[in-house]
Amino acid sequence: MAHYFGMKPVIEKCEDVIVRQANTLDRVKLFQIACAVAEHDRYSPTMTLLIDKLSAMKREELSKLRFSQVPGDVVADVFAAKMKRREMKRKKWCCLL
């Protein structure tokens, strides 16, 4: 609603709250917030944080979420971040050996 009516201070306050609370949100709330943020500002730093948090979830948890409600590019970003995270873990272990 705040985006629709051009209430930038309200949007900024909401984004601040999301950033502060992102670590304590359960997967369903995190997903709902990601859906809402994707509708108004797909390329915001807050959306990047949400994509990072979603990509850190296990594949089983992600499969239970309704990705049909999210734009396709957001879904692609989540799974691309997940693959990148897995690749970085592999490289980290390779360097330790």
Average pLDDT over residues 23-27: 88
pLDDT tens track for 34-61 = 888 888 778 888 888 998 998 888 888 8
Residue 93 — pLDDT band, cuts 50, 70, 90?
low
φ and ψ at 88, to 5 degrees?
Answer: -65, -35
Q: Are 44 and 15 in contact (CB under 8 A)?
A: yes
Q: Are 77 and 49 in contact (CB under 8 A)?
A: no
AA identity, residue 88: M
Distance (Å, rounded) from C-alpha 28 to C-alpha 11? Answer: 21
- The token pair at 15 is 């984004």
Q: What is the mean pLDDT of the chain?
A: 81
Higher pLDDT, 7 or 56: 56
The pLDDT of residue 35 = 85
Domain boundaries, the chain: 8-96
The pLDDT of residue 97 = 53
